[in-house]
Amino acid sequence: MSVQYQAVGWNRQKRLYDLTLSTGILLFLATFVGLSLRRPDATLETALIRALGVLGLTLLHIILVIGPLTRLDRRFLPLLYNRRHLGVMMALIGLSHAVFATLQYHGGADLNPIVSLLSAGQASHFRAEFPFEYFGLGALAIIVIMAATSHDFWLSVFGARAWKALHMGVYFAYGLLVLHVALGVLQAEGGGVGAGLLGAGVVVVLGLHVVAGIRELQRDKPSAEGDDGWVDVGLASEIPSGRAKAVVIAGERAAVFRYDDKVSCVSGVCRHQGGPLAEGRIVDGCITCPWHGYQYFPDTGTSPPPFTDRLPTFNVRIRNGHVEVHHVPNAPGTRVEPARIT
């Protein structure tokens, strides 16, 4: 991270990512619509509505599995770096699906299309009379709010904890969308392949989160604390140069970094979006978060100027080749003299 760094911006990498994503979306829509129109009873409008709906739900599944995949395999980190762009694109697709569907199925009514859609007891265009559209509207509202607040400006306004809590609403939106599809088109058409694919998607999303959660619980086992308040976290030689060891000190995640024959320890949670700093590395003398590139000096836990983020630091020492960390964290931004490896 530098003065010119932007957590969300159209740098060269993101431009290539967005170009690739946009091309893939257009190809998917064209292919889906083309195959749908081979049915004699299909219309262009219905095919496009369904294509947008399937694409939006598919992208949401991809978004939801990126997080646990990065916890299981670091090679997925580039997807995490661009996940917000993917989320905004998915929100636009969902909004397009909702607009086209409302105009198609409620535009010919005497009432305003929105009023017709929301009217109690309004007959559905599918055989099922249950107002499954409400679930879709609820999910769309959450997703649009998330897309509108995805920029780091809103992260700074709300604060990391509140912003993160707001964006965890994606799981509620996902549940609403599953109900929207299951009680809508799948119920009307008797399930079949569509129901199987939707069920498989739910199993994959839940399964990956469970596996990643179990792995995180194993990582979060607290280190044993000595009688003097110092915690032995292992041999300094076991920590790769420029990398860190993840430890749990007094119930909190911490990252013990080795660099230039020195060792420092800071909080293991990035101030940006709670990224795992212990999985990052030292770049240009700074701890660099693997999620979005936020940086901190290892001895002070402060970000390079003009940024003002600060991490709690821990006192460290080396005894008989073992790194020991004091269990009481220092105030964020407190400089701690690194322990020297001799």
pLDDT of residue 194: 83
The answer, yes or no, to whether residue 110 has pLDDT greater than 90, is no
CATH topology for 230-340?
Answer: Rieske Iron-sulfur Protein (2.102.10)
The answer, yes or no, to whether residue 123 has pLDDT greater than 50, is no
Q: What is the pLDDT of residues 271-328, one digit of tens each?
A: 887 888 998 899 999 999 988 788 999 999 999 988 888 999 999 999 999 999 999 9
**Top-confidence residue, 78 or 203:** 203
Where do we find the tokens 């992260």? 155
pLDDT of residue 3: 40
The answer, yes or no, to whether residue 17 has pLDDT greater than 60, is yes
- HSE-up of residue 77 (Cα within 13 Å, Cβ side): 12
pLDDT of residue 174: 96
**Other C-beta atoms lying within 10 Å of the C-beta of residue 164:** 13
pLDDT of residue 114: 73
Closest CA to 316 of 328, 304, 306, 303: 328
Q: How confident is the model at residue 30 (pLDDT cuts 50, 70, 90)?
A: very high
Distance CA 115, CA 106 (A): 9
Q: Looking at residues 146-165, what average pLDDT do you find?
A: 84
At 184, the amino acid letter reads: G
pLDDT of residue 315: 95
Q: What is the pLDDT of residues 250-265, one digit of tens each?
A: 788 999 999 999 999 9
**Total-model pTM:** 0.78
The answer, yes or no, to whether residue 143 has pLDDT greater than 90, is yes
Q: How confident is the model at residue 5 (pLDDT cuts 50, 70, 90)?
A: very low
**Top-confidence residue, 38 or 223:** 38
Q: How confident is the model at residue 339 (pLDDT cuts 50, 70, 90)?
A: very high
pLDDT of residue 215: 84
Closest CA to 89 of 118, 63, 127, 119: 63
Cβ atoms of residues 237 and 272 within 8 Å: no
Q: What is the DSSP string of 161-172?
A: HHHHHHHTTHHH
Structure tokens that stand for 153 in this block: 């400006």
Structure tokens that stand for 284 in this block: 């240009």
pLDDT of residue 122: 46
The answer, yes or no, to whether residue 6 has pLDDT greater than 50, is no
Cβ atoms of residues 272 and 294 within 8 Å: yes
The answer, yes or no, to whether residue 152 has pLDDT greater than 70, is yes
Three-class SS of residue 16?
Answer: helix
pLDDT of residue 54: 94
Three-class SS of residue 57?
Answer: helix
The answer, yes or no, to whether residue 86 has pLDDT greater than 80, is yes
**Top-confidence residue, 159 or 239:** 239
Where do we find the tokens 């003065």? 3
pLDDT of residue 7: 44
Across the chain, mean pLDDT equals: 85
Distance CA 331, CA 48 (A): 56
Q: What is the pLDDT of residues 200-251, one digit of tens each?
A: 999 999 999 999 988 877 776 666 666 678 999 999 999 999 999 999 987 8
For the chain, which residues make up each domain, given as ranges?
A: 12-219, 230-340
Closest CA to 156 of 271, 75, 68: 271
Q: How confident is the model at residue 11 (pLDDT cuts 50, 70, 90)?
A: low
